[in-house]
Structure 1
Amino acid sequence: MQEKSGSKKGLFIGLGVVVVAAAAVMLLHGNGKSAQSDSKVQTINVGSGNDGQPFAYLDKNGKPAGMDIALIQAIDKKLPQYQFKLTLSDFPTLITNLKSGKTTMAMYQIEQNAERKQDFKFGSVGYTVWDTLLATQTATGKLDSFADAKGKKVYVTNATNQATLTDAYLKDHPDAFSVVRGTYTTEQIAQGFKSGQFNVYPAPKYSIDLLNRQFGTQLIAGKSINHSNAYPMFNKDADPKLIAAVNKAMGELKADGTLKKLSEEWLKGDYVPKN
Protein backbone atom coordinates (compact mmCIF):
# COMPACT_ATOMS: atom_id res chain seq x y z
CA MET A 1 0.00 0.00 0.00
CA GLN A 2 1.65 3.20 -1.14
CA GLU A 3 1.95 6.20 1.13
CA LYS A 4 -0.10 9.19 0.02
CA SER A 5 1.71 12.33 -0.98
CA GLY A 6 2.26 14.61 1.98
CA SER A 7 1.59 11.95 4.62
CA LYS A 8 3.68 12.29 7.77
CA LYS A 9 3.21 8.65 8.65
CA GLY A 10 3.72 5.33 7.05
CA LEU A 11 5.15 1.88 7.60
CA PHE A 12 8.18 0.67 5.72
CA ILE A 13 10.96 -1.86 6.07
CA GLY A 14 14.18 -0.76 7.69
CA LEU A 15 17.45 -2.66 7.99
CA GLY A 16 16.13 -5.71 6.11
CA VAL A 17 14.77 -9.00 7.41
CA VAL A 18 16.01 -11.19 10.24
CA VAL A 19 14.91 -14.82 10.09
CA VAL A 20 14.95 -16.70 13.39
CA ALA A 21 13.37 -20.14 13.86
CA ALA A 22 11.13 -19.69 10.82
CA ALA A 23 9.86 -16.33 12.08
CA ALA A 24 10.67 -13.26 10.01
CA VAL A 25 11.07 -10.13 12.11
CA MET A 26 10.45 -6.88 10.27
CA LEU A 27 11.80 -3.70 11.81
CA LEU A 28 9.26 -1.09 10.83
CA HIS A 29 9.87 2.62 11.04
CA GLY A 30 7.24 5.30 10.50
CA ASN A 31 8.25 8.50 8.75
CA GLY A 32 8.51 11.19 11.42
CA LYS A 33 7.98 8.72 14.27
CA SER A 34 11.17 6.78 14.97
CA ALA A 35 13.31 9.69 13.79
CA GLN A 36 11.79 12.10 16.30
CA SER A 37 12.78 12.15 19.96
CA ASP A 38 9.21 11.70 21.15
CA SER A 39 9.06 9.41 24.17
CA LYS A 40 5.29 9.16 23.78
CA VAL A 41 5.62 6.96 20.68
CA GLN A 42 5.21 3.38 21.91
CA THR A 43 6.49 0.37 19.95
CA ILE A 44 3.91 -2.39 19.52
CA ASN A 45 5.01 -5.86 18.38
CA VAL A 46 2.46 -7.11 15.86
CA GLY A 47 2.29 -10.69 14.58
CA SER A 48 1.20 -11.75 11.12
CA GLY A 49 1.89 -14.46 8.54
CA ASN A 50 4.92 -15.24 6.40
CA ASP A 51 3.46 -17.72 3.88
CA GLY A 52 -0.29 -17.14 3.57
CA GLN A 53 -1.11 -15.55 0.24
CA PRO A 54 -3.03 -13.34 -0.28
CA PHE A 55 -3.32 -12.41 3.41
CA ALA A 56 0.23 -12.10 4.75
CA TYR A 57 3.43 -13.41 3.19
CA LEU A 58 6.92 -12.51 1.98
CA ASP A 59 7.09 -11.50 -1.67
CA LYS A 60 9.90 -12.43 -4.07
CA ASN A 61 12.01 -9.60 -2.67
CA GLY A 62 11.55 -10.76 0.92
CA LYS A 63 9.20 -7.91 1.79
CA PRO A 64 5.87 -8.40 3.62
CA ALA A 65 2.78 -8.27 1.42
CA GLY A 66 -0.91 -9.15 1.54
CA MET A 67 -4.23 -7.79 2.75
CA ASP A 68 -3.45 -8.12 6.46
CA ILE A 69 -0.06 -6.46 6.02
CA ALA A 70 -1.64 -3.56 4.10
CA LEU A 71 -4.30 -3.21 6.80
CA ILE A 72 -1.70 -3.17 9.58
CA GLN A 73 0.07 -0.40 7.65
CA ALA A 74 -3.18 1.55 7.26
CA ILE A 75 -3.92 1.28 10.99
CA ASP A 76 -0.41 2.38 11.93
CA LYS A 77 -0.70 5.48 9.77
CA LYS A 78 -3.73 6.53 11.79
CA LEU A 79 -2.04 6.07 15.18
CA PRO A 80 0.79 8.60 15.77
CA GLN A 81 1.16 7.41 19.36
CA TYR A 82 2.27 3.92 18.28
CA GLN A 83 5.03 2.42 16.14
CA PHE A 84 4.30 -1.10 14.87
CA LYS A 85 7.04 -3.73 14.52
CA LEU A 86 6.09 -6.87 12.60
CA THR A 87 6.97 -10.45 13.48
CA LEU A 88 5.99 -12.82 10.67
CA SER A 89 5.55 -16.56 11.21
CA ASP A 90 3.27 -19.50 10.49
CA PHE A 91 -0.13 -19.49 12.21
CA PRO A 92 0.65 -21.80 15.19
CA THR A 93 3.77 -19.76 16.00
CA LEU A 94 1.75 -16.54 15.74
CA ILE A 95 -0.64 -17.85 18.40
CA THR A 96 2.24 -18.94 20.65
CA ASN A 97 3.99 -15.58 20.32
CA LEU A 98 0.83 -13.67 21.23
CA LYS A 99 0.05 -15.89 24.19
CA SER A 100 3.59 -15.63 25.57
CA GLY A 101 3.72 -11.85 25.18
CA LYS A 102 6.37 -11.78 22.45
CA THR A 103 3.76 -9.90 20.45
CA THR A 104 0.93 -7.69 21.71
CA MET A 105 -1.37 -7.74 18.67
CA ALA A 106 -1.89 -10.10 15.75
CA MET A 107 -3.68 -9.86 12.41
CA TYR A 108 -3.76 -12.94 10.18
CA GLN A 109 -7.42 -13.58 9.37
CA ILE A 110 -8.04 -14.64 12.98
CA GLU A 111 -11.53 -15.71 14.00
CA GLN A 112 -13.11 -15.75 17.42
CA ASN A 113 -13.92 -18.98 19.22
CA ALA A 114 -14.54 -19.93 22.84
CA GLU A 115 -10.96 -21.10 23.48
CA ARG A 116 -9.39 -17.96 22.03
CA LYS A 117 -11.75 -15.70 23.97
CA GLN A 118 -10.39 -17.25 27.16
CA ASP A 119 -6.77 -16.60 26.21
CA PHE A 120 -6.93 -13.37 24.22
CA LYS A 121 -8.79 -10.10 23.64
CA PHE A 122 -10.39 -9.22 20.31
CA GLY A 123 -11.01 -6.01 18.43
CA SER A 124 -14.62 -5.00 17.80
CA VAL A 125 -14.47 -4.37 14.04
CA GLY A 126 -14.37 -7.40 11.74
CA TYR A 127 -12.61 -7.00 8.41
CA THR A 128 -13.19 -10.24 6.48
CA VAL A 129 -16.18 -12.59 6.42
CA TRP A 130 -15.07 -16.10 7.37
CA ASP A 131 -18.33 -18.03 7.32
CA THR A 132 -17.23 -21.66 7.11
CA LEU A 133 -18.40 -23.69 4.12
CA LEU A 134 -17.54 -27.28 3.25
CA ALA A 135 -15.74 -27.13 -0.10
CA THR A 136 -15.95 -30.23 -2.28
CA GLN A 137 -15.51 -31.20 -5.90
CA THR A 138 -18.55 -31.47 -8.12
CA ALA A 139 -18.45 -35.27 -8.12
CA THR A 140 -18.68 -35.32 -4.32
CA GLY A 141 -21.70 -33.03 -4.27
CA LYS A 142 -22.61 -30.13 -2.00
CA LEU A 143 -22.37 -30.64 1.75
CA ASP A 144 -24.52 -28.59 4.13
CA SER A 145 -23.15 -29.96 7.41
CA PHE A 146 -20.41 -32.14 8.90
CA ALA A 147 -23.00 -34.92 9.02
CA ASP A 148 -23.03 -34.85 5.21
CA ALA A 149 -19.25 -35.48 5.24
CA LYS A 150 -19.64 -38.94 6.79
CA GLY A 151 -17.02 -41.36 5.42
CA LYS A 152 -15.07 -38.66 3.59
CA LYS A 153 -11.54 -37.25 4.01
CA VAL A 154 -11.38 -33.73 5.46
CA TYR A 155 -8.39 -31.37 5.37
CA VAL A 156 -7.98 -28.73 8.11
CA THR A 157 -5.19 -26.25 8.72
CA ASN A 158 -3.62 -26.55 12.17
CA ALA A 159 -4.67 -24.05 14.85
CA THR A 160 -7.46 -22.51 12.76
CA ASN A 161 -11.10 -22.04 13.71
CA GLN A 162 -11.98 -24.65 11.09
CA ALA A 163 -9.82 -27.17 12.97
CA THR A 164 -11.63 -26.27 16.20
CA LEU A 165 -15.03 -26.75 14.54
CA THR A 166 -13.95 -30.07 13.06
CA ASP A 167 -12.58 -31.37 16.35
CA ALA A 168 -15.73 -30.31 18.21
CA TYR A 169 -17.84 -32.37 15.81
CA LEU A 170 -15.49 -35.37 15.98
CA LYS A 171 -15.63 -35.31 19.78
CA ASP A 172 -19.29 -36.33 19.55
CA HIS A 173 -18.93 -38.31 16.30
CA PRO A 174 -15.42 -39.86 16.47
CA ASP A 175 -15.83 -42.15 13.45
CA ALA A 176 -17.64 -39.69 11.17
CA PHE A 177 -14.72 -39.02 8.78
CA SER A 178 -10.93 -39.07 8.57
CA VAL A 179 -8.90 -35.88 8.91
CA VAL A 180 -5.71 -34.68 7.22
CA ARG A 181 -3.99 -31.95 9.23
CA GLY A 182 -1.25 -29.55 8.20
CA THR A 183 -0.25 -26.02 7.25
CA TYR A 184 -0.69 -26.39 3.51
CA THR A 185 -0.31 -23.56 1.05
CA THR A 186 -3.18 -22.82 -1.33
CA GLU A 187 -1.35 -24.73 -4.06
CA GLN A 188 -0.89 -27.75 -1.80
CA ILE A 189 -4.59 -27.73 -0.95
CA ALA A 190 -5.44 -27.73 -4.65
CA GLN A 191 -3.02 -30.61 -5.21
CA GLY A 192 -4.55 -32.49 -2.29
CA PHE A 193 -7.96 -32.33 -3.93
CA LYS A 194 -6.63 -33.35 -7.32
CA SER A 195 -4.63 -36.29 -5.93
CA GLY A 196 -7.48 -37.55 -3.77
CA GLN A 197 -5.59 -36.97 -0.52
CA PHE A 198 -8.80 -35.39 0.77
CA ASN A 199 -12.17 -34.39 -0.68
CA VAL A 200 -13.60 -31.92 1.86
CA TYR A 201 -12.11 -28.58 2.95
CA PRO A 202 -13.82 -26.38 5.58
CA ALA A 203 -13.09 -22.84 4.39
CA PRO A 204 -14.53 -19.37 3.79
CA LYS A 205 -15.99 -18.41 0.42
CA TYR A 206 -13.02 -16.28 -0.62
CA SER A 207 -10.58 -19.18 -0.06
CA ILE A 208 -12.77 -21.40 -2.22
CA ASP A 209 -12.99 -18.68 -4.87
CA LEU A 210 -9.21 -18.31 -4.79
CA LEU A 211 -8.61 -22.02 -5.30
CA ASN A 212 -11.01 -22.10 -8.23
CA ARG A 213 -9.56 -18.98 -9.81
CA GLN A 214 -5.88 -19.85 -9.44
CA PHE A 215 -5.87 -23.63 -9.79
CA GLY A 216 -9.09 -24.55 -11.59
CA THR A 217 -10.30 -26.83 -8.81
CA GLN A 218 -14.00 -26.18 -9.57
CA LEU A 219 -14.93 -26.55 -5.90
CA ILE A 220 -18.53 -26.08 -4.79
CA ALA A 221 -20.10 -25.55 -1.37
CA GLY A 222 -23.47 -25.83 0.32
CA LYS A 223 -24.81 -23.85 3.28
CA SER A 224 -22.63 -22.14 5.85
CA ILE A 225 -21.94 -24.33 8.89
CA ASN A 226 -20.63 -21.46 11.03
CA HIS A 227 -20.79 -17.65 10.92
CA SER A 228 -17.58 -15.81 11.73
CA ASN A 229 -15.44 -12.79 10.85
CA ALA A 230 -11.72 -12.04 11.10
CA TYR A 231 -10.67 -9.57 13.82
CA PRO A 232 -7.49 -8.09 15.26
CA MET A 233 -6.49 -10.17 18.29
CA PHE A 234 -4.56 -8.96 21.33
CA ASN A 235 -2.58 -10.44 24.20
CA LYS A 236 -4.79 -10.67 27.29
CA ASP A 237 -2.57 -8.08 29.03
CA ALA A 238 -2.77 -5.59 26.14
CA ASP A 239 -3.42 -1.97 27.13
CA PRO A 240 -7.14 -1.13 26.71
CA LYS A 241 -6.06 2.21 25.20
CA LEU A 242 -4.29 0.36 22.38
CA ILE A 243 -7.33 -1.81 21.71
CA ALA A 244 -9.62 1.24 21.70
CA ALA A 245 -7.28 3.07 19.31
CA VAL A 246 -7.16 0.13 16.90
CA ASN A 247 -10.96 -0.23 17.06
CA LYS A 248 -11.37 3.45 16.23
CA ALA A 249 -8.92 3.25 13.32
CA MET A 250 -10.61 0.11 11.99
CA GLY A 251 -14.02 1.77 12.16
CA GLU A 252 -12.73 4.73 10.16
CA LEU A 253 -11.11 2.45 7.58
CA LYS A 254 -14.38 0.58 7.15
CA ALA A 255 -16.44 3.78 6.90
CA ASP A 256 -14.18 5.42 4.31
CA GLY A 257 -14.12 2.34 2.08
CA THR A 258 -10.49 1.34 2.71
CA LEU A 259 -11.41 -2.15 3.94
CA LYS A 260 -13.47 -2.76 0.81
CA LYS A 261 -10.67 -1.43 -1.40
CA LEU A 262 -8.11 -3.73 0.25
CA SER A 263 -10.45 -6.72 -0.01
CA GLU A 264 -11.01 -6.12 -3.71
CA GLU A 265 -7.30 -5.56 -4.32
CA TRP A 266 -6.00 -8.61 -2.48
CA LEU A 267 -8.95 -11.02 -2.37
CA LYS A 268 -10.46 -10.04 -5.74
CA GLY A 269 -13.87 -9.41 -4.22
CA ASP A 270 -15.77 -7.61 -1.47
CA TYR A 271 -15.60 -9.89 1.56
CA VAL A 272 -15.97 -7.16 4.19
CA PRO A 273 -18.64 -7.84 6.86
CA LYS A 274 -21.74 -5.72 6.32
CA ASN A 275 -22.32 -5.08 10.01
Structure 2
Amino acid sequence: MQNKTGNHKGLWIGLAIVAVMIIGVMVLHHTSKNSQAASGVQTINVGSGNDGQPFAYLDKNGQPAGMDIAVIQAIDKKLPQYKFKLTLSDFPTMITNLKSGKTSLAFYQIEKNPERQQDFKFGSVGYTIWDTLLATKKSTGVLNTFADAKGKKLYVTNSTNQATLTDAYLKKNPNAFGVTRGTYTVEQIAQGLNSDQFNVYPAPKYSIDLLNRQFKTNLVYGKAVNHSSAYPMFNKKADPKLMKAVNQAMAELKKDGTLKQLSQKWLKGDYVPKD
Protein backbone atom coordinates (compact mmCIF):
# COMPACT_ATOMS: atom_id res chain seq x y z
CA MET A 1 0.00 0.00 0.00
CA GLN A 2 1.45 3.43 -1.02
CA ASN A 3 2.01 6.22 1.51
CA LYS A 4 0.04 9.24 0.21
CA THR A 5 1.75 11.60 2.64
CA GLY A 6 5.14 10.47 1.39
CA ASN A 7 4.04 10.98 -2.22
CA HIS A 8 2.85 14.50 -1.48
CA LYS A 9 6.09 15.27 0.31
CA GLY A 10 8.13 13.99 -2.63
CA LEU A 11 6.02 16.02 -5.03
CA TRP A 12 6.58 19.22 -3.06
CA ILE A 13 10.32 18.56 -2.91
CA GLY A 14 10.39 18.00 -6.67
CA LEU A 15 8.46 21.19 -7.32
CA ALA A 16 10.76 23.09 -5.01
CA ILE A 17 13.83 21.84 -6.89
CA VAL A 18 12.31 22.87 -10.23
CA ALA A 19 11.46 26.31 -8.82
CA VAL A 20 15.01 26.77 -7.54
CA MET A 21 16.40 25.78 -10.95
CA ILE A 22 14.12 28.26 -12.75
CA ILE A 23 15.04 31.03 -10.33
CA GLY A 24 18.72 30.17 -10.79
CA VAL A 25 18.46 30.44 -14.57
CA MET A 26 16.62 33.76 -14.25
CA VAL A 27 19.24 35.12 -11.86
CA LEU A 28 22.08 34.04 -14.16
CA HIS A 29 20.37 35.63 -17.17
CA HIS A 30 19.71 38.82 -15.22
CA THR A 31 23.27 38.88 -13.92
CA SER A 32 24.64 38.39 -17.44
CA LYS A 33 22.55 41.27 -18.79
CA ASN A 34 23.55 43.50 -15.88
CA SER A 35 27.19 42.57 -16.45
CA GLN A 36 26.98 43.55 -20.14
CA ALA A 37 25.22 46.79 -19.27
CA ALA A 38 27.78 47.57 -16.59
CA SER A 39 30.66 46.96 -19.00
CA GLY A 40 29.19 49.50 -21.42
CA VAL A 41 30.27 47.41 -24.42
CA GLN A 42 27.89 47.54 -27.39
CA THR A 43 28.02 44.92 -30.14
CA ILE A 44 28.11 46.41 -33.65
CA ASN A 45 27.43 44.22 -36.69
CA VAL A 46 29.91 45.15 -39.40
CA GLY A 47 29.61 44.01 -43.01
CA SER A 48 32.46 43.17 -45.36
CA GLY A 49 33.40 40.74 -48.13
CA ASN A 50 34.08 37.00 -48.18
CA ASP A 51 35.76 36.57 -51.58
CA GLY A 52 37.53 39.80 -52.55
CA GLN A 53 41.29 39.38 -52.26
CA PRO A 54 43.24 41.26 -51.06
CA PHE A 55 40.55 43.44 -49.49
CA ALA A 56 38.19 41.08 -47.66
CA TYR A 57 38.09 37.31 -47.96
CA LEU A 58 38.41 34.01 -46.08
CA ASP A 59 41.92 32.58 -45.93
CA LYS A 60 42.85 28.89 -46.28
CA ASN A 61 41.87 28.35 -42.64
CA GLY A 62 38.47 29.97 -43.13
CA GLN A 63 39.48 33.08 -41.19
CA PRO A 64 38.65 36.66 -42.31
CA ALA A 65 41.63 38.38 -43.91
CA GLY A 66 42.51 41.34 -46.11
CA MET A 67 43.00 45.11 -46.06
CA ASP A 68 39.43 45.98 -45.09
CA ILE A 69 39.30 43.28 -42.40
CA ALA A 70 42.55 44.60 -40.92
CA VAL A 71 41.15 48.16 -40.87
CA ILE A 72 38.00 46.95 -39.09
CA GLN A 73 40.10 45.11 -36.51
CA ALA A 74 42.35 48.14 -35.96
CA ILE A 75 39.32 50.37 -35.34
CA ASP A 76 37.80 47.79 -33.00
CA LYS A 77 40.95 47.84 -30.86
CA LYS A 78 40.71 51.62 -30.55
CA LEU A 79 37.07 51.57 -29.42
CA PRO A 80 36.69 49.57 -26.18
CA GLN A 81 33.08 50.74 -25.87
CA TYR A 82 32.20 48.67 -28.95
CA LYS A 83 32.65 45.06 -29.99
CA PHE A 84 32.64 44.57 -33.76
CA LYS A 85 30.97 41.40 -35.05
CA LEU A 86 31.73 40.57 -38.69
CA THR A 87 29.06 39.64 -41.24
CA LEU A 88 30.81 38.57 -44.45
CA SER A 89 29.13 38.21 -47.86
CA ASP A 90 29.36 39.21 -51.50
CA PHE A 91 29.10 42.93 -52.29
CA PRO A 92 25.37 43.10 -53.23
CA THR A 93 24.35 41.15 -50.11
CA MET A 94 26.54 43.42 -47.96
CA ILE A 95 24.70 46.45 -49.35
CA THR A 96 21.31 44.81 -48.69
CA ASN A 97 22.30 43.92 -45.12
CA LEU A 98 23.39 47.49 -44.42
CA LYS A 99 20.27 49.00 -45.93
CA SER A 100 17.96 46.70 -43.96
CA GLY A 101 19.77 47.38 -40.67
CA LYS A 102 21.13 43.85 -40.31
CA THR A 103 24.50 45.58 -40.10
CA SER A 104 25.27 49.12 -38.94
CA LEU A 105 28.55 49.67 -40.74
CA ALA A 106 30.38 48.27 -43.77
CA PHE A 107 33.94 48.22 -45.11
CA TYR A 108 34.56 46.77 -48.58
CA GLN A 109 36.34 49.41 -50.67
CA ILE A 110 33.11 51.38 -50.98
CA GLU A 111 33.19 54.55 -53.05
CA LYS A 112 30.76 57.44 -52.80
CA ASN A 113 28.26 58.03 -55.57
CA PRO A 114 24.94 59.93 -55.64
CA GLU A 115 22.83 56.77 -55.41
CA ARG A 116 24.65 55.47 -52.33
CA GLN A 117 24.63 58.89 -50.68
CA GLN A 118 20.83 58.86 -50.84
CA ASP A 119 20.59 55.55 -49.00
CA PHE A 120 23.57 55.59 -46.64
CA LYS A 121 25.94 57.78 -44.64
CA PHE A 122 29.68 57.82 -45.25
CA GLY A 123 32.61 58.19 -42.90
CA SER A 124 34.79 61.28 -43.13
CA VAL A 125 38.17 59.55 -43.60
CA GLY A 126 39.04 57.69 -46.79
CA TYR A 127 41.48 54.80 -46.60
CA THR A 128 42.17 53.72 -50.21
CA ILE A 129 42.53 55.89 -53.32
CA TRP A 130 40.07 54.93 -56.06
CA ASP A 131 40.65 57.64 -58.67
CA THR A 132 39.44 56.14 -61.96
CA LEU A 133 42.06 55.94 -64.73
CA LEU A 134 41.56 54.59 -68.25
CA ALA A 135 44.14 51.84 -68.52
CA THR A 136 45.25 50.74 -72.00
CA LYS A 137 48.04 48.91 -73.79
CA LYS A 138 50.69 51.28 -75.17
CA SER A 139 49.58 50.44 -78.71
CA THR A 140 46.10 51.83 -77.94
CA GLY A 141 47.46 55.15 -76.75
CA VAL A 142 47.06 57.17 -73.56
CA LEU A 143 43.48 58.23 -72.75
CA ASN A 144 42.66 61.20 -70.51
CA THR A 145 38.86 61.29 -70.86
CA PHE A 146 35.97 59.03 -71.76
CA ALA A 147 35.72 61.04 -74.98
CA ASP A 148 39.19 59.75 -75.90
CA ALA A 149 37.77 56.20 -75.74
CA LYS A 150 35.37 56.81 -78.66
CA GLY A 151 35.06 53.73 -80.85
CA LYS A 152 36.97 51.52 -78.42
CA LYS A 153 35.86 48.59 -76.23
CA LEU A 154 35.76 48.92 -72.43
CA TYR A 155 35.53 46.34 -69.66
CA VAL A 156 33.78 47.25 -66.38
CA THR A 157 33.07 45.11 -63.35
CA ASN A 158 29.43 44.95 -62.32
CA SER A 159 28.23 47.09 -59.37
CA THR A 160 31.41 49.18 -59.24
CA ASN A 161 31.77 52.93 -59.35
CA GLN A 162 33.60 52.49 -62.65
CA ALA A 163 30.48 50.87 -64.12
CA THR A 164 28.37 53.78 -62.80
CA LEU A 165 30.74 56.34 -64.37
CA THR A 166 30.75 54.48 -67.69
CA ASP A 167 26.95 54.27 -67.78
CA ALA A 168 26.60 57.96 -66.92
CA TYR A 169 28.81 58.89 -69.88
CA LEU A 170 26.95 56.57 -72.24
CA LYS A 171 23.62 58.02 -71.16
CA LYS A 172 24.74 61.38 -72.49
CA ASN A 173 26.75 59.91 -75.38
CA PRO A 174 24.95 56.76 -76.62
CA ASN A 175 27.07 54.24 -78.54
CA ALA A 176 30.28 56.19 -77.91
CA PHE A 177 32.07 52.91 -77.24
CA GLY A 178 31.36 49.25 -76.64
CA VAL A 179 31.22 47.78 -73.12
CA THR A 180 31.88 44.28 -71.80
CA ARG A 181 30.43 43.76 -68.32
CA GLY A 182 31.12 41.03 -65.82
CA THR A 183 32.87 39.91 -62.65
CA TYR A 184 36.18 38.92 -64.22
CA THR A 185 39.18 37.87 -62.16
CA VAL A 186 42.41 39.83 -62.51
CA GLU A 187 43.76 37.06 -64.76
CA GLN A 188 40.66 37.22 -67.01
CA ILE A 189 41.00 41.00 -67.30
CA ALA A 190 44.64 40.59 -68.33
CA GLN A 191 43.66 37.96 -70.91
CA GLY A 192 40.89 40.19 -72.25
CA LEU A 193 43.28 43.09 -72.72
CA ASN A 194 45.97 40.93 -74.32
CA SER A 195 43.50 39.30 -76.73
CA ASP A 196 41.80 42.61 -77.66
CA GLN A 197 38.46 41.36 -76.33
CA PHE A 198 38.47 44.90 -74.92
CA ASN A 199 41.19 47.57 -74.98
CA VAL A 200 40.22 50.01 -72.22
CA TYR A 201 39.94 49.20 -68.52
CA PRO A 202 38.57 51.97 -66.23
CA ALA A 203 40.22 51.21 -62.90
CA PRO A 204 42.11 52.65 -59.92
CA LYS A 205 45.89 52.79 -59.89
CA TYR A 206 46.03 49.83 -57.49
CA SER A 207 44.30 47.53 -60.00
CA ILE A 208 46.48 48.71 -62.87
CA ASP A 209 49.66 48.22 -60.82
CA LEU A 210 48.47 44.72 -59.90
CA LEU A 211 47.94 43.76 -63.55
CA ASN A 212 51.34 45.14 -64.52
CA ARG A 213 53.06 43.41 -61.61
CA GLN A 214 51.44 39.99 -61.90
CA PHE A 215 50.81 39.67 -65.63
CA LYS A 216 53.33 42.06 -67.24
CA THR A 217 50.55 43.82 -69.14
CA ASN A 218 52.52 47.09 -69.32
CA LEU A 219 49.34 49.16 -69.13
CA VAL A 220 49.53 52.94 -69.32
CA TYR A 221 47.10 55.65 -68.30
CA GLY A 222 46.63 59.41 -68.41
CA LYS A 223 44.68 61.77 -66.16
CA ALA A 224 42.01 60.56 -63.76
CA VAL A 225 38.46 60.80 -65.12
CA ASN A 226 37.11 60.77 -61.56
CA HIS A 227 38.58 61.38 -58.10
CA SER A 228 37.40 59.03 -55.39
CA SER A 229 38.37 57.09 -52.26
CA ALA A 230 37.03 54.14 -50.29
CA TYR A 231 35.19 55.08 -47.09
CA PRO A 232 33.39 53.35 -44.22
CA MET A 233 29.66 53.33 -45.01
CA PHE A 234 26.94 53.47 -42.33
CA ASN A 235 23.27 52.60 -42.20
CA LYS A 236 21.28 55.81 -42.67
CA LYS A 237 19.95 55.53 -39.10
CA ALA A 238 23.34 54.76 -37.56
CA ASP A 239 24.03 56.12 -34.09
CA PRO A 240 25.86 59.49 -34.41
CA LYS A 241 28.09 58.45 -31.48
CA LEU A 242 29.22 55.37 -33.41
CA MET A 243 29.92 57.43 -36.52
CA LYS A 244 31.93 59.99 -34.55
CA ALA A 245 33.93 57.28 -32.80
CA VAL A 246 34.75 55.46 -36.06
CA ASN A 247 35.72 58.71 -37.81
CA GLN A 248 38.02 59.65 -34.92
CA ALA A 249 39.62 56.20 -34.88
CA MET A 250 40.17 56.33 -38.64
CA ALA A 251 41.78 59.77 -38.36
CA GLU A 252 44.15 58.45 -35.68
CA LEU A 253 45.03 55.36 -37.75
CA LYS A 254 45.84 57.58 -40.72
CA LYS A 255 47.90 60.03 -38.65
CA ASP A 256 49.98 57.37 -36.89
CA GLY A 257 50.76 55.56 -40.15
CA THR A 258 48.74 52.42 -39.46
CA LEU A 259 46.65 52.76 -42.64
CA LYS A 260 49.82 53.19 -44.71
CA GLN A 261 51.35 50.08 -43.11
CA LEU A 262 48.21 48.04 -43.81
CA SER A 263 48.14 49.28 -47.41
CA GLN A 264 51.77 48.31 -47.94
CA LYS A 265 51.15 44.88 -46.38
CA TRP A 266 47.98 43.97 -48.25
CA LEU A 267 48.13 46.08 -51.43
CA LYS A 268 51.93 46.14 -51.89
CA GLY A 269 52.04 49.93 -51.98
CA ASP A 270 50.89 53.17 -50.36
CA TYR A 271 47.37 53.78 -51.68
CA VAL A 272 46.15 55.87 -48.74
CA PRO A 273 44.65 59.27 -49.68
CA LYS A 274 46.94 62.16 -48.76
CA ASP A 275 44.20 64.66 -47.83
Contact 1:92 1:158 in 2 (8 A): no
Larger Cα-atom Rg: 2
1:206-225 correspondence runs (5 A): 206-225=206-225
Match of 2:90 in 1: 90
> Is the partner of 1:107 in helix, strand or coil?
strand
Task: Report deviation, 1:225.
Answer: 0.5
TM-score, length of structure 2 as denominator length: 0.84
Task: Report deviation, 1:38.
Answer: 2.4
Matched, 1:166 2:166: yes
Match of 2:115 in 1: 115
1:1-275 correspondence runs (5 A): 37-39=35-37, 40-275=40-275
Tell me which amino acid in the other structure corresponds to 1:149. A
> Is the partner of 2:208 in helix, strand or coil?
helix
Separation in 1 of the partners of 2:150 and 2:58? 38
Task: Report deviation, 1:241.
Answer: 0.7
**C-alpha deviations, 1:51-77, integer Å up to 9, x for none?**
222111122222111111100000011
> Is the partner of 1:156 in helix, strand or coil?
strand
Contact 1:136 1:219 in 2 (8 A): yes
The gaps in structure 1 that reach 5 residues or longer are 1-33
Moved over 6 A (4+): none
The gaps in structure 2 that reach 5 residues or longer are 1-31
Separation in 1 of the partners of 2:197 and 2:48? 29
Corresponding residue pairs, total = 241
**C-alpha deviations, 1:90-149, integer Å up to 9, x for none?**
222222221122221111111111111111000001111111101111221111111111
Decide which structure has greater strand share.
1
Tell me which amino acid in the other structure corresponds to 2:149. A
Task: Report deviation, 1:195.
Answer: 3.1
Contact 1:132 1:205 in 2 (8 A): yes
Separation in 1 of the partners of 2:218 and 2:50? 27
Separation in 2 of the partners of 1:156 and 1:97? 24
Name the CA shift for 1:110/1:190 in 2 (closer, same or farther; >3 Å): same
Separation in 2 of the partners of 1:48 and 1:77? 17
Q: Which moved more, 1:191-200 or 1:148-157?
A: 191-200
Decide which structure has greater helix share.
2
Tell me which amino acid in the other structure corresponds to 2:145. S
